[in-house]
């Protein structure tokens, strides 16, 4: 899998993707809204069992107590935690469908460096053109399709696409067209 100027090239398709409001960055920091450049891996998958079937046998259900710590000074920084949890965190069990499927990346995880960014996921987008806080976000049908094909440990590349540094945050693919040869992963 590889991010291209047209979208995420994965399994023979180019999927439109929303990126972080801070563009792409090779110096990711907590709260900067940037999507980190580099070679990453998918280390886990979470899903809302009350809303859809498990996309993969290794996917883990999200429950009402499931949170993700984003407090950079806390020992559980960039790790899943359970409620009640006093330090800063993000709820994984949401009323909206944003985290119905969450693909967990290896960005600063599981061994986190304080301040280098947390919760870099692949998840459902809010709407077309709406940037993320650093994640990669997809249409629901595209995310379900991707999650059903991905393997634990799957690598994906976010190259240094200079045109997306603090610029546009939406990459539009056709959903099925092949990118130019130079973009093949």
Instruction: Provide the residue-wise pLDDT of the chain in tens; the chain has 185 residues.
Output: 999 999 999 999 999 999 999 999 999 999 999 999 999 999 999 999 999 999 999 999 999 999 999 999 999 999 999 999 999 999 999 999 999 999 999 999 999 999 999 999 999 999 999 999 999 999 999 999 999 999 999 999 999 986 655 445 566 554 444 433 433 33
- Which DSSP symbol is given to 22? T
CA-to-CA separations, 32 to 2, 4, 22, 53, 135, in angstroms, rounded? 23, 22, 6, 34, 12
The set of catalytic residues is 123, 135
177 within domain boundaries: no
175 within domain boundaries: no
Domain extent, residue 68, equals: 2-166
123 within domain boundaries: yes
180 within domain boundaries: no
What is the structure's pLDDT at 68?
Answer: 99
What is the structure's pLDDT at 180?
Answer: 36
Domain of 7, CATH number, reads: 2.40.440
Cis ω before 11 (30° cut-off from 0): no
71 within domain boundaries: yes
CB-based contact 143:16 (threshold 8 Å): no
Beta bridge partners of 42: 105
65 within domain boundaries: yes
- Interatomic CA distance for residues 103 and 88, integer angstroms: 21
Q: How many domains, in total, are found in the chain?
A: 1
What is the structure's pLDDT at 83?
Answer: 98
106 within domain boundaries: yes
- Which DSSP symbol is given to 112? P
176 within domain boundaries: no
């Amino acid at each position: 899998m590889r991010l291209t100027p047209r979208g995420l090239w994965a399994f023979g398709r180019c999927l439109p993707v929303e990126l972080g409001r801070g563009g792409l960055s090779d110096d990711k920091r907590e709260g900067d809204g940037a999507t980190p450049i580099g070679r990453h891996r998918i280390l886990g998958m979470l899903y809302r069992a009350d809303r859809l079937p498990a996309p993969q046998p290794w996917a883990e259900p999200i429950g009402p107590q499931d949170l993700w710590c984003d407090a950079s000074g806390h020992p559980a920084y960039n790790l899943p935690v359970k409620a009640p949890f006093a330090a800063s965190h993000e709820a994984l069990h949401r009323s909206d469908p944003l985290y119905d499927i969450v693909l967990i990346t290896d960005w600063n995880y599981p061994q986190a460096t304080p301040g280098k960014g947390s919760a870099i996921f692949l998840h459902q987008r809010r709407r077309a053109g709406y940037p993320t806080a650093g994640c990669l976000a997809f249409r629901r049908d595209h995310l379900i399709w991707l999650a059903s094909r991905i393997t634990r440990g799957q690598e994906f590349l976010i190259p240094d696409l200079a045109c997306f540094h603090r610029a546009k945050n939406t990459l539009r693919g056709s959903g099925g067209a092949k990118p130019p040869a130079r973009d093949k992963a």
